[in-house]
Structures are given as C-alpha cells and as structure tokens.
Chains A and B, each alone.
Chain A
Amino acid sequence: MSARAVDAVFQGLYLLTDVRMMIRKSVPDHVLTEDEKKTLAKTLDKVEKQIAVLREELLA
C-alpha cells in the first residue's frame, strides 16, 4: 500500500481542477493575466511533482 501514491493521485487531480477552473474563468479566449500566468505556472510545477511521486512510488 502506498498512501503517498494515493495522495499524489488526488493532489494531482485537485491541482488540475484548479487549472480547469482557470480555463473556465478565462473563457472564451483563455487569455490569462500576468498574475494568473504565475499562479498557473506554480500549479503546473506542483502537478509535475505529484507525477514524480507516482513514478517513484509505483514504477520504481
């Protein structure tokens, strides 16, 4: 059992949900402000970290 992997799955989905909400908020042209772009970049970094955890926990 890898609680860390399970947490990473949910955390990744939650972070992607935040991205989905940014897309909704900026519909229809999806033009982000500079602040929103910074937030998005940080969120995507966090998603990548969760994916790294999953690789480490489940593929190693």
Chain B
Amino acid sequence: MSLRCAGDIDTRSLEEMFINLDPIQAGGRLTSEAMKAVIAYADGYSVCDNCQKPARLDAISKPPLATFHKDLAAFVEMDEARLMPGARRGFQAVASSFVNPGDPVLVTSYCHYTTFVAVEVAGGVVYEIAASPDHYSTPDMVAERIEEVIAKTKRTPALLFLEEVDYQYGNVHPVKEMAAVAHQYDIPVLYNGAYTVGIKEVSGADFGVDFVVGSGHKSMAAPAPSGFLATRAEYADVVFRTSKVHGDLTGRNFPVKEVELLGCTLMGNTSVGMMASFPHVKERVKHFDKEVARANKIIDALLSIEGMEVVSEYPRKHTLTRMNSEKCFDPIAKKHKKRGFFLISALRERHVTGIIPGSTKVWKMNSFGLTDRQADWVADAFLEIAEAEGLHVNR
C-alpha cells in the first residue's frame, strides 16, 4: 500500500522515483526554495497578513510581492505585470479587454485550446493562420490571413495571439517578424510564453509585442495555477483598468480592484512559490543552450533506432520534442501482449515516465531540467528497449 497524504490521497512521489519527461511538467517542477515557501505559506490567504491600502496583491510589501511584480515586468522587458492564475487567464484578460462580440481574432495553427476559449468567452471569432508543411508559422502567412480576414469581414482583427515555441512540435517561430506584420495593421499582439518564459530568455520589447503571458506552473518552477500577464505601458490602463461600478443600494464601490483580475489573483502559496523560485528561474534561462544540447543528445540517441523519426525541427532548438515511432515501436505494439502500452511499461521498468501511455506512433517528450546523467539514462533506456524488442540500433 502506498503512503497516503490524507484519506485516499496518495503521496505523489513520481519526481522522486522516476525521470519524468512529461512535456507539460518539466518546467514546473519546484525549486527547493519554492518547496520551502509552500510549506510556510500553505494556508489559504497566507500572503495577506500584511495587506494594507491599497488592498491589492501587487501592492503587498511583506512578502515582497510589490517588488516581485516589478521584477517580473523587467524580466520580460515590459512595463507592467500582474500575477494571473495561469497563462490562460492572461489570454482571457487581454481578449476580454480588446475583443468585442463578432470581432475577428487571429491565432496560429499551434495555439493552445485556451486561446480559442478565451476568444469565445469574449464573443470573438477565431481565424487561424495556416502553418507551413514543416510546421512553422510565418510572417507571410500572417499577412495573408490578415488580408483574407479583412476582405471577408470588413473588420481588422482585434488581436493576434502568437507563440514563440508551440506546444505541439516545440518549434521556434519568428515572433518578431510576425508581430511586425500585425503592427502594420495596428493589431495588438499577445506573446504566449507558456513554453519560453522561465525556460529561455524572453524580451517582449525585442519581439515588439504588446503583451507577454507566462505560465508559472508550466515554465517557472511554480505551483499551479500561476502565471502572469505583462503589458506595455500603452495598454496597462486598458487591461489593468479598475472597477467603476457602484452598488445601487449601498453605494459601495471598489475603485482599486482591477476588473480583469477580479481583484486579487494568487493569494497564497502559488504566488509565494513562484516568487521563491524566481531567482533560480532568472539564472536558469541563461543556460538554455545547455538544456538544448542535452535534448539533442537524447534525440540523437533515439534517432539511432532504425525507423525512428523526429517530427519537430531538428537539430532541436527547444527541449520539447515530437517523435514518430510508427516505423519502429508501433509495429512492436501490434504484436506485443501489452499492445501500445509496452513502451511506457518498459520505460517505467527503467524508471523513466512521462510519455503518454499507449502511444507508440507519435508522442512528445520534454527533457528540460534533467542532469547529464539523467539524459544519458533516458537515452540508454530507449535504446535498451529497442534492442530488447529486436529493433536495430546504430550504436
């Protein structure tokens, strides 16, 4: 019987027992600093002990959330930032501020589903930008789609959502050039940094985007749900506008509360965990090249298995990678007693996990945060499995 936290809740010891390649979990593993902060701030409204006027999260000085907000904006070279319960709430805040019902909104073919939903909530209409056959979004495709949408709807798109690194292929897209195209039409641009901010260096100013959204739990070693929305000063009063309404009976009003945030957002261990990891995160982005080198080392080893293909751009420029094993592992699955589950089962026997159970055709992995030794372990595990199943490996 496994150790329980409480009742029927198992202790989660996956990160202590396995090398975890789950694409969405790699960048969100906590630092020791965040673990300690979470212990100390585990209670509900724990960061509110010293909340004074103005009663708002970004004004709290103990713990130093006010400073953290400024540091976050500076980190991505934008003017203002607010903590959000995940990147998705950043998308929603911007969509809600800039999209009116019926407005066309541009997204890429690789945008996250929450982008769709954020536009839907605002009443906008999603128009997707086509991708190239080799899985890139391009400035030409952005321009082409803008022209098509204007011709069709007689309206200029209200917003463009872009991602520098997409969640499907982990490819690096030319954000700066795409944003420049959108700005020729005065379309505000939101940079989705869910797979970049906290992983690699990001400059919203250099990209020339209007908003930067980051994910704490995906890429900034923070508990979920956490993230932030940063903006250029020009749009701060719009997206961080404060409440104007008054109660009709009591006359109450809440003029310091920012409506898109519904007042305060991360009032406990999420914000303090994100803040505790921040010094480490600021440092680790400077060493992204080492992470990429490690990813390439693993992928190179995987490609030594006959029939294995990398679907993402190669050599890799990011640690999230999409593989295709239809010509090697999938034929094994067809005759294996465990069917498609043989791969994850064999990986787990070697203390590696994070590949979607049952997948032997196309699957993703993310090696971010592994040590050199762990990267070698992962590579060896795959090669051992291939050889054990009779596949040829070009060692």
Contacts and interface: CB of A to CB of B under 8 A. Distances in A.
Interface of A: 10, 13-14, 17-18, 20-21, 23-25, 27-29
8 A-B pairs with the lowest CB-CB distances in the bound complex, closest first: A28-B351, A21-B32, A17-B35, A14-B36, A23-B16, A13-B39, A17-B36, A24-B15
Question: What's the interface size class on B, roughly?
Answer: 10 to 19
A25 B350 CA distance: 16
B16 A17 contact: no
User: Dominant SS at the A interface?
Assistant: helix
A20 B16 contact: yes
Nearest to B29: A24
B351 A27 contact: yes
Given A20-B35, A21-B32, 9 more contacts: A14-B36, A17-B36, A17-B39, A20-B32, A24-B16, A27-B17, A28-B351, A28-B352, A29-B351
Contacts of A17: 32, 35-36, 39
A28 B19 contact: yes
Interface string B19-63: 100000000010010011001100000000000000000000000
A21 B374 CA distance: 15
Interface of B: 15-19, 29, 32, 35-36, 39-40, 350-352, 371, 374, 377
Given A10-B39, A13-B39, A28 B32 contact: no
B19 A27 contact: yes
Contacts, number: 36
14 contacts: A17-B35, A17-B39, A21-B35, A23-B16, A24-B16, A27-B17, A27-B18, A27-B19, A27-B351, A28-B17, A28-B19, A28-B350, A28-B351, A29-B351
Given A20-B16, A23-B16, A28 B36 contact: no
B373 to A, nearest CB: 8
Given A25-B371, A28-B351, A14 B39 contact: yes
Contact of B32 (A10, A18, A27, A29): A18
Residue among B29, B36, B352 having the largest count of chain A Cβ atoms under 10 Å:
B36
A32 to B, nearest CB: 12
Given A24-B16, A25-B371, A28-B352, A10 B40 contact: yes
Output the residue of A17, A20, A29 with the most chain B CB within 10 A.
Answer: A17
Nearest to A31: B373
Contacts of A21: 32, 35
A17 B32 CA distance: 7
Given A27-B18, A28-B19, A28-B352, A13 B36 contact: yes
A17 B42 CA distance: 15
Given A17-B32, A21-B32, A21-B35, A27 B40 contact: no
